[in-house]
Structure 1
Amino acid sequence: MSISMTNDIVIGGISIPPGARKRVGIKVAKLYDYTEMTIPVEVLRGKKDGPVLFVSAAIHGDEINGIETIKRLLARKSILSGIRGTLIAVPIINVFGFHQKIRYLPDRRDLNRCFPGSRSGSLGGQIAYIFMEEIVEKCTHGIDLHTGSMHRTNLPQIRASTDDFETKRLALAFGVPVVLNSNLRDGSLRQAAADKNIPMLLFEGGEALRYEEKVIRSALRGIISIMNTIGMIDQKKINLRPRKKEVFVARSSHWIRAPHSGSLRIRKRLGTMVKKDEILGVISDAFGQGRINVRARETGIVIGMNMLPLVNNGDALFHIATFENSKVVEEQVEFFDETLEIDD
């Protein structure tokens, strides 16, 4: 799918003609002191017809790995020069949460449950409405970058509706070892994009309020791979270290919850295979007594975990994805640390 480059794209009241690169601030609201809050956007338009891809981050204000990823993407001059179509980069959607280093909006709403939004709704609804109108509805494809929520970390992974052929094709092309077939959630950006028939991927990796090099590299590598897959950039400008890559779609996933309150000692790390009934961690009291083992329900791969040692009964501790052959997935995750070679 491609968009004709004969017309300007208008974002935030600013016209961006073919071949131009511009930064725009989309006005969303004001603070108590009347400081204008704007969503920062950078638009790169090629001179040839092609897809229109949005890449966004910080829909949760404390998820900053994606912000650094977009910075690095925008710095790749050799790749971005001569692109076909348009790249719309939105490093911070939830500017309110970002400025306060928190996940949510000032009214404690989750912006990723406010889509498609409303012109006269809550603050979250209005921001969602503006983002849909100004960005999403002008695009043919989308990638939204996330991390784990506070005190949780995630293995680099793609979450997508693999029942849709095009979305599954792009999910596999992103190149991270694990793809989680994830149902669309009401009020999410992914749901709103699907309603507009826009294929969209959700990348998860790392934890909140941290820059993690491995996660940032894997996200950047995946975005560039998608740009190549949909015909935006020239394959010759991408220099990947030649290694065998295989992507696995999880059959299902589930969280293992704390069977008791106490302090948790983790026994497994992200990306490792665990067998049914294997010990994932041990909960004990302040004296190291009353030890209770946390065990796996099924054989699978650890794709997410709670990093806070102090846990209450029922807290989500380990996110386990199940596969046809978990051992093969573990091996693939182990050598996924290769770097992306890009000549600038």
Structure 2
Amino acid sequence: MIRLHRGLLFGSALLASLSWATERVSDVEPIKPELPIDRSTQRPLLGKPITPGILDRRAWSAGQPLSGLALPTPVLIAAGNTPGPTMCLTGAVHGDELNGVEIIRRIMFALDTENLTGTVIAVPIVNLYGFQRNSRYLPDRRDLNRYFPGNPTGSSAARIAHHFFQDVISHCHALIDIHTGSFHRTNLPQLRADLSNPKVAKLSQLFDNFVVLHSVGAVGTLRRAAVEAGIPTVTLEAGEPLYLQPEEVAQGVRGVLSAMRGFGLMGEYNKVASDQKVFFESIWLRADQSGVLFSEVKVGDSVKKGEILGSV
């Protein structure tokens, strides 16, 4: 028998937390990455230097995919006139996850490079092969988010992951990887972060009013591979696949912009006091008999021990 203590409903499949804490994140200081801010030291991105003061569009290609033809993937680069850190945004590592694509589009085309300090590199659709087919997977049905940091002599998924990690992710001083739930499941807008890593924990605190779930991440995920490479990374989960959901997109945009300000990308940063619900463990609650489940609670509701979540 599962005993549910106080928790929060994270997803439509009854993902709930066993242990929790509400932290008052006060006086959050901007993150100051240890990096050279002289642009002359920056490596070229995708074969060209980064030009300050403009929004640039380039194309990344993973060499030879299954079809034998390279498929160019758009990469957006917003570079401020003032040198500073580089933050990366990635979406649609799973090709059917659309909310992240729109979150990134709204952010990138709203940035004012005149007032930007540093650089934002964004890849709205990492898995363009899956995106074109409305599929979570690559054409050979491999999950790209289980092959990072990749292998130049491995499977097609491993090679794609390797080239993307080397060509794009290696330029990042921080990374926000945006996802949704999978297979028609919906996720409450939330962060997943390895809170045992101080730099990752600090990055997660910059997201105003976001639920945070501690998670190291599965081996092969982009987040885990980036953290192991020394790049503070969080996963932002919001909504469900195959749909564009305005409320989830809007909340994602607010969270990412808050993190960008805290990372020192948008000029002076005012200290904030933010409520964050921080969870350290989660489980799936599943019905013990067949039938149709009618939920009594909504995603994001707080629940207590003994409360009815739904009936079959």
Partner of residue 208, structure 1: 241
* CA distance in structure 2 between the partners assigned to 1:118 and 1:254 by the alignment: 32
* CA distance in structure 1 between the partners assigned to 2:158 and 2:241 by the alignment: 23
Partner of residue 149, structure 1: 182
Tell me: CA distance 1:77–1:138, structure 2 relative to 1, closer, same or farther (3 Å).
Answer: closer
Residue type matched to 1:260 in 2? Answer: Q
Partner of residue 13, structure 2: none
TM-score by structure 1 length? 0.75
**CA displacement, residues 1-38 of structure 1 (integer Å, 9 cap, x when unaligned):** 24421245423323323334321111125677765312
Partner of residue 257, structure 1: 286
1:194 to 210, 217, 227: 227
Contact (CA 8 Å) 2:296, 2:310: kept in 1 or not? Answer: yes
Percent sequence identity is 37
Partner of residue 104, structure 1: 137
* CA distance in structure 2 between the partners assigned to 1:272 and 1:32 by the alignment: 44
Contact (CA 8 Å) 1:158, 1:204: kept in 2 or not? Answer: yes
- Matched pairs, number: 277
1:116 to 149, 156, 159: 149
Partner of residue 296, structure 1: none
* CA distance in structure 1 between the partners assigned to 2:41 and 2:202 by the alignment: 29
Secondary structure in structure 2 of the residue aligned to 1:171: helix
More strand by share: 1
* CA distance in structure 2 between the partners assigned to 1:121 and 1:31 by the alignment: 12
Contact (CA 8 Å) 1:156, 1:176: kept in 2 or not? Answer: no
Give unmatched runs, 5+ long, in structure 1: 284-344
**CA displacement, residues 133-163 of structure 1 (integer Å, 9 cap, x when unaligned):** 0111111110000100021001110100111
1:22 to 35, 47, 56: 56
What's the RMSD between the two structures over aligned residues?
2.1
Partner of residue 309, structure 2: 280
Partner of residue 114, structure 2: 81
Partner of residue 268, structure 1: 297
Tell me: CA distance 1:203–1:77, structure 2 relative to 1, closer, same or farther (3 Å).
Answer: closer
Is 1:42 aligned to 2:71, yes or no? Answer: no
Tell me: CA distance 1:281–1:104, structure 2 relative to 1, closer, same or farther (3 Å).
Answer: same
Tell me: CA distance 1:124–1:32, structure 2 relative to 1, closer, same or farther (3 Å).
Answer: closer
Deviation at residue 188 of structure 1 after TM alignment = 0.8
Partner of residue 6, structure 1: 40
1:91 to 104, 124, 127: 124
TM-score by structure 2 length? 0.83
Query: Which has more radius of gyration?
Result: 1
Deviation at residue 174 of structure 1 after TM alignment = 0.8
Which has the bigger relative contact order, CA under 8 A and spacing at least 6?
2
Deviation at residue 262 of structure 1 after TM alignment = 1.9
Partner of residue 25, structure 2: none
Secondary structure in structure 2 of the residue aligned to 1:198: coil
Secondary structure in structure 2 of the residue aligned to 1:125: helix
Contact (CA 8 Å) 1:5, 1:47: kept in 2 or not? Answer: no
Residue type matched to 2:182 in 1? Answer: S
* CA distance in structure 1 between the partners assigned to 2:157 and 2:136 by the alignment: 13
Report the more deviating stretch, 62-71 or 11-20: 11-20
Residue type matched to 2:292 in 1? Answer: S
Partner of residue 72, structure 1: 106
